[in-house]
């Protein structure tokens, strides 16, 4: 049985030889009515349960669309914190045990507590997918991020990736940094206000994996060297000290001027939602890849679901 818990569980071979080609095939199947209906039989009869304890638009809907497009049946708890027995004090583990007894084939969980999804996996006898756990990980986001780099730039090896924003609290940057370490000669520049610097555990992971990285607050130099600029939102809901939030909320914002520092062949990514850190004036620039990136989430999540059930076509 497979779970999806951390981005680093996906090695390079699985990514580039299985998941990315599967996502490419799925994308093109959408252009052919016959292939699209064939896709709808791929995981027919299986049930996906989405259990979201925290807000989501892209992740929940893309899993839902992914499952439906593979012929699965989907059940949803959108606001599990309020609408499940969790509110009565039931433990996550008990909740999962009960849900498993109703025979879902896979449970996708988003939770506000770091490590909660791994705990859920410990109580589950069906595959669990981590759709984001607190300040922990968001592995399927990292997969769609890498897939976007591969599609847009043709390779991940050798890229200079600038990762910026709230690096202390953002889980997408953690998952991305861990999975970039699977590729060769990647260089990472972290750009963050001093109060929101990337965690020591991530830096330790990169050192162990031999990934070169640096930290800076100098946006202009970083952007001018980047192949990929990966920007993120200040995670207001995870910053408990309101004075800290006030200090950092407008830390960096990317507009046309900042994009003019970027190389012509680079791309600007963001896991979304954006709340001012990438201005709308950037959208018309062809290097702005964030909406294409979000779309890629559908194809890669379909590939991940196929992989979970060993159903990637040969």
The count of chain residues that interact with ligand NCD, using the rule CB under 6 A, is: 11
**Under the criterion CB under 6 A, does residue 132 sit at the interface with ligand NCD?**
yes
Q: Does 58 bind ligand NCD (CB under 6 A)?
A: yes
Q: Smallest gap, in angstroms, from Cβ of residue 97 to ligand NCD?
A: 26
Q: What is the rounded distance in angstroms from the CA atom of residue 157 to the CA atom of residue 10?
A: 16
- Contact at 8 Å (CB) between 110 and 52? yes
Annotated catalytic residue 279? no
The distance of closest approach from Cβ of residue 115 to ligand NCD in the complex, given in angstroms and rounded to an integer, is 15
214-233 residues in contact with ligand NCD (CB under 6 A) are 232-233
Among 272, 289, 305, 312, binds ligand NCD (CB under 6 A): 272
Radius of gyration of the chain (CA): 19
- Pattern 174-213, ligand NCD, x by CB under 6 A: ----------------------------------------
C-beta of 40 vs 58, nearer to ligand NCD: 58
138-167 residues near ligand NCD, rule: CB under 6 A: 138, 141
Q: Is 59 in the site for ligand NCD (CB under 6 A)?
A: yes
Report if residue 4 touches ligand NCD, rule: CB under 6 A.
no
What sign does the dihedral 145-146-148-149 (CA atoms) show? Answer: positive
We find the least distance from the C-beta atom of residue 225 to ligand NCD, in angstroms, to be: 24
Of 16, 59, 77, 172, which residue is the catalytic one? 59
Q: Please list the residues that pair with 109 across neighbouring strands.
A: 51, 130
Examine the residue annotation and report whether 2 is marked as an active-site residue of this protein.
Answer: no
The candidate with the shortest Cα–Cα distance to 4, out of 282, 215, 278, 308, is 308
Output 189 or 232, the one with its CB closest to ligand NCD. Answer: 232
187 is catalytic: no
Specify whether 292 is catalytic: no
Instruction: Output the six-digit token pair for 129.
Output: 């997918």
Write down the catalytic residue from 6, 60, 110, 233.
110
Contact letters for ligand NCD, residues 276-305 (x by CB under 6 A): ------------------------------
309 with 43: CB under 8 angstroms? yes
171 in contact with ligand NCD (CB under 6 A): yes
How far apart, in whole angstroms, are the C-alpha atoms of residue 95 and residue 4? Answer: 19
> Per CB under 6 A, does 271 bind ligand NCD?
yes
Residues annotated as catalytic are 58-59, 88, 110, 138
Residues forming contacts to ligand NCD in the complex (CB under 6 A) are 58-59, 132, 138, 141, 171-172, 232-233, 271-272
């Amino acid at each position: 049985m497979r779970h999806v818990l951390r981005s680093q569980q996906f090695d390079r071979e699985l990514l580039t030889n299985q998941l990315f080609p599967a996502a490419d095939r799925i994308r093109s199947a959408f252009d052919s009515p016959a292939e699209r209906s064939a896709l709808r039989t791929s995981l027919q009869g299986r049930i996906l349960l989405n259990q979201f304890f925290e807000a989501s638009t892209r992740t929940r809907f893309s899993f839902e669309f992914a499952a439906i497009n593979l012929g699965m049946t989907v059940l949803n708890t959108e606001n599990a914190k309020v609408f499940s027995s969790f509110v009565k004090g039931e433990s996550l583990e008990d909740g999962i045990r009960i849900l498993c007894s109703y025979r879902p084939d896979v449970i996708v969980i988003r939770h506000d507590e770091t490590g909660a999804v791994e705990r859920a996996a410990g109580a589950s006898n069906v595959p669990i997918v981590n759709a984001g756990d607190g300040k922990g990980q968001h592995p399927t986001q990292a997969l769609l991020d890498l897939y976007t780099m591969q599609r847009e730039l043709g390779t991940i090896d050798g890229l200079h990736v600038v990762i910026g924003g709230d690096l202390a609290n953002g889980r997408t940057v953690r998952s991305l940094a861990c999975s970039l370490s699977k590729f060769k000669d990647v260089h990472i520049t972290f750009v963050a206000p001093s109060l929101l610097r990337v965690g020591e555990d991530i830096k330790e992971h990169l050192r162990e994996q031999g990934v070169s990285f640096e930290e800076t607050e100098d946006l202009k130099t970083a952007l001018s060297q980047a192949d990929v600029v990966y920007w993120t939102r200040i995670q207001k809901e995870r910053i408990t000290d309101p004075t800290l939030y006030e200090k950092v909320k407008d830390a960096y914002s990317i507009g046309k001027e900042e994009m003019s520092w970027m190389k012509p062949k680079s791309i600007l990514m963001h896991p979304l939602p954006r709340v001012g850190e990438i201005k709308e004036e950037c959208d018309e620039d062809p290097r702005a890849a964030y909406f294409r990136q979000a779309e890629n989430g559908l194809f890669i999540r379909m590939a991940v679901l196929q992989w979970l059930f060993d159903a990637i076509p040969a």
